[in-house]
Amino acid sequence: MRYLYLTLMAAAFASCTAYVPQETLDAKPHILTDVPITTANASPGNVQVFFNGELPHEPYYKMKLIEVSASAYRSNAAFLDKLKEQAAREGMDGLLLDGLNENQVVRNAWRDGYDPLLQRHLTAVGIRFKRTIHVDKIVKQQSLKVWGAGVSAPVNCDLTFNLHGQCKLGSRLADSLFSIEIYPYAASEIAYGHQPGWAYMQSEEIPKTGAMRNSDLLGLNSHYKYNDKWQLSGIEVARPVDFTGTSGKKIKQVLTVQYDDKQQLIKKTLYRNNAVEWIEMMTYDDTGRLAATERYKMNGDQKQVLLQSTLSYYTAGDLPEAEPGR
């Protein structure tokens, strides 16, 4: 562990990115506001449509453009149903639409290289009501205390996150801690958002194949394994022996997880060559959010603390000002 904290000061940093099933935050294309889409509106019947300048009767956010194409011969009702279905898939509460006929574009498409096919293309503004935006599970700040080998006093630093769960650039130490010591081992106790600088791979058969996240810049790779209930069962991590990029050799680590009777992840154990490198314990608040973690290793009967973190979360008061409605 000693080399890890020596390299933190010199390592090049990268924020992270990846998808695993517990992560629900992402920067979507066509975003019109910085407000996150935190939950999905699964039913098209719940999507409200506001025509020709009509506005909701409550505060709302313009989120993104919703676009659909279909045969020009479909009825307006069928076309509107298709638009609402797309809006529901993209997590919208409603649509601002300037009419069906005025808003559409009719264009020629070609089928089989010679058969003309008329298509209609329709765009609306997808909206979310302020009351349906819940940010209380998005981490706003993670305060860290880190102990190096033979050091009695910890180093303190704070990690801050935007509303999309992405770690903001801070000090070199903070960025390195997050990218090297926190994110590769993050499991289902917390939902970090997709981060720049990492890549991900996933399969529709996640319990069989797992999910991958990796950073080419850092040479780090995390392979998430799941049981047949789609619950995280462990992580396999490959990381450089050193982060100077000179040796090219990799360390292979295996992280195991333990859940309580509420299915909250309460313990992570990291192994290297079947020997325990560290143990991390989690505590939760009354609403089920991760409140604090402590990472330590055992030297005989002595517990040596390596890292402690406490977390604070966004509130509705942190959201930007919404459109007032009418």
**Does residue 8 register a pLDDT over 50?**
no
Name the residue type at position 165: G
| Structure confidence by residue, pLDDT tens digits, 247-274 | 678 899 999 999 999 999 999 999 999 9
Position 1 scores a pLDDT of: 39
Position 320 scores a pLDDT of: 92
| Structure confidence by residue, pLDDT tens digits, 110-142 | 655 555 567 788 889 999 999 999 899 899 999
Residues, the chain, total?
326
| Structure confidence by residue, pLDDT tens digits, 205-252 | 656 677 888 888 888 999 999 888 788 899 999 999 877 666 678 899
| Interstrand relation of 94-97 and 48-51 (parallel, antiparallel or unpaired) | parallel
**Does residue 179 register a pLDDT over 60?**
yes
Position 13 scores a pLDDT of: 29
- Cβ(183)–Cβ(227) under 8 Å? no
Q: What is the arithmetic mean of pLDDT over 168-176?
A: 85
Q: Which are the contacts of 188, defined by CB distance < 8 A and separation ≥ 6?
A: 20, 22, 231, 232, 257, 265
Position 304 scores a pLDDT of: 92
Please indicate whether residue 152 or residue 179 has the higher confidence score (pLDDT).
179
Q: Best-predicted range by mean pLDDT among 184-193, 207-216, 294-303? A: 294-303
| Structure confidence by residue, pLDDT tens digits, 25-83 | 444 455 788 888 876 666 778 899 999 999 999 999 999 999 888 777 788 888 899 99
Position 110 scores a pLDDT of: 61
Position 158 scores a pLDDT of: 94
Position 104 scores a pLDDT of: 59
User: Hey, what are 28's tokens?
Assistant: 């979507």
Position 36 scores a pLDDT of: 86
pLDDT band at 23 (very low <50, low <70, confident <90, very high): very low
- Collapsing DSSP states into helix, strand and coil, what is residue 181? helix
Position 101 scores a pLDDT of: 64
Position 210 scores a pLDDT of: 77
- Cβ(130)–Cβ(60) under 8 Å? yes
Distance of alpha carbon 108 from alpha carbon 205, whole angstroms? 38
User: Hey, what are 274's tokens?
Assistant: 């079947």
**Does residue 191 register a pLDDT over 90?**
no
| Structure confidence by residue, pLDDT tens digits, 140-158 | 999 999 997 767 789 999 9
Distance of alpha carbon 279 from alpha carbon 182, whole angstroms? 13
Distance of alpha carbon 325 from alpha carbon 25, whole angstroms? 26
